Chain A
Amino acid sequence: MLETIDLECTRGERLLFAGLAFAIEAGHCLHVAGENGAGKTTLLRILCGLLSPTHGEVRWAGKDIRRLREDYWQLLGYVGHLNGVKDDLTALENVRFAAALAGHPAGEEVARHALGAVGLAGFESSQARFLSQGQRRRIALARLFLAHESKLWILDEPFTALDVRGVAALATLIGEQLERGGIVVLTTHQEVPLPGRVRRLDIHAPAVHT
């Protein structure tokens, strides 16, 4: 489903990775691992289509994502480093706006259910500015509960700022997504036991040749 072909990326003058080729089939999870600065976030942003690789391409179902554009993004659920949560909106408003933005508006019931699923029941009408970092992270993750149409989840450090129960709940959620035949690509530094078929991809900065 999702494959990369001879991917190469240079940021500034530094070569992050080159010749990266992998394919992920439906129902599989890819765990991107590597040290700080190895280019994990960069790889994820390339897979989303936010960033263009220096060389190579990313394909979804055999087609270049730069050609698919909106058709690809419709299938994509992305939670990046930044939560994409507005401080001045309530938790419920944030979730409903995210759903409308993604192109499948959610009714209040659906949005409440999504917030309940990430353990934010009772916080629906609190403005995000009064919530903790972990709770804001949960609002961002609530987007994934809405987006059952999203075949592909790309999650950048989704477990940061979550408490133990939050981590377990998210791991379960990832397992369900894989069972549905979805694909999950994630990075994490925490040793979280992930259910389902998980492949690990280590990226290292290539040795510097002089």
Chain B
Amino acid sequence: MSGTTFGAVVRRDLLLAARQRADVANTLLFFLVVVTMVPLGVGPEMNTLRTIAPGVVWVAALLAAILSLNRLFASDFADGTLEQMVLSGEPLPVIVMAKALAHWLTTGLPITVMAVLLGVMFDLPRDAIGVLVASLLLGTPALSLIGAVGAALTLGLRGGGVLITLLVLPLYVPVLIFGAGAVEAVAGGLAPRGQLLLLGALSIGSTVLAPWAIAAALRISLE
């Protein structure tokens, strides 16, 4: 039975995202704008751009993820759907896992796809683009899951937006370091395997642990 509930929550969140396209577009547009503004600010020196590209893309992905966190639980909280989720006969960690997956499908995944284009724009070598995409694919699930813990903790608080950034940013730092590090390793002629494996480990670790933390945080927020 848990499987059908999981599927229903994912489907519903994707349907809602399709009906509120502006919200999703806002995050992706922000990502695109931040990355494309950098060459204008830094100047057209190709070598510099090639060096900073992985870091820029990763920082923008991280900020875009933070920007999108507020809408993860806020509307369900405001209209009472969250109460129904907490009182569901299905385990709450399964439900929040589904919500985190839907969040990743509407932020992490499109960001990863857009990164291919941005890699070309920064004139990254083909293998570096491959590693950039792989690092985003492996790392962005952790951003959604860790971010969801912060979103659940700050739910219903005044000034939650600032607090969420403070809570979540330190936890995002390892993802950023290994993500950008993997691409820089390739550029420097090293194997990116270690960094990519660590990113995967971070995502798997947060998949295992975050749903329980999110569920506990939501119960506290609803009290």
Contacts and interface: CB of A to CB of B under 8 A. Distances in A.
Interface of A: 48-52, 70, 73-74, 76, 78, 80-89, 93, 97-98, 100-105
Nearest to B16: A88
Given A97-B8, A102-B88, A105-B8, 6 more contacts: A73-B88, A80-B80, A83-B79, A84-B80, A84-B84, A100-B8
Question: For chain B, what secondary structure do more than half of its interface residues adopt (helix, strand, loop), or is it mixed?
Answer: helix
Listed residue (B78, B84, B85, B90) with the most chain A CB atoms within 10 angstroms of its CB: B84
Given A93-B15, A97-B12, A98-B84, A103 B223 contact: no
18 contacts: A50-B83, A51-B223, A52-B223, A73-B89, A74-B89, A78-B87, A82-B78, A83-B79, A86-B79, A86-B81, A87-B79, A97-B12, A98-B84, A101-B9, A101-B88, A102-B88, A103-B89, A104-B1
B19 interface: yes
B79 A85 contact: yes
A89 B17 CA distance: 11
Interface in B127-186: none
Contacts of B85: 101
A103 B81 contact: no
Contact of A84 (B1, B83, B89): B83
B20 A88 contact: yes
B79 A50 contact: no
A56 B81 CA distance: 28
Interface in B63-98: 75, 78-81, 83-91, 95
B223 A89 contact: no
Contacts of A98: 84
A84 B79 contact: yes
Given A97-B12, A101-B9, A82 B83 contact: yes
A73 B80 contact: no
A141 to B, nearest CB: 13
Nearest to A49: B87
Nearest to A154: B87
A105 B1 CA distance: 9
A70 B90 contact: yes
A103 B90 CA distance: 6
A77 B4 CA distance: 19
B36 interface: no
Given A102-B89, A105-B4, A89 B79 contact: no
Contacts of A83: 79-80
B12 A89 contact: yes
B222 interface: yes
Contacts of B207: none
A157 to B, nearest CB: 13
Interface string B13-36: 001100110000000000000000
Contacts of A85: 79-81
Contact of B81 (A70, A73, A84, A102): A84
Nearest to A103: B89
A73 B5 CA distance: 15
B88 A50 contact: no
A50 B80 contact: no
Contacts of A104: 1
B1 A103 contact: yes
B79 A82 contact: yes
Listed residue (A85, A89, A97, A101) with the most chain B CB atoms within 10 angstroms of its CB: A101
Contacts of A52: 223
Contacts of A70: 88-91
A105 B86 CA distance: 17
A86 B74 CA distance: 12
B63 to A, nearest CB: 26
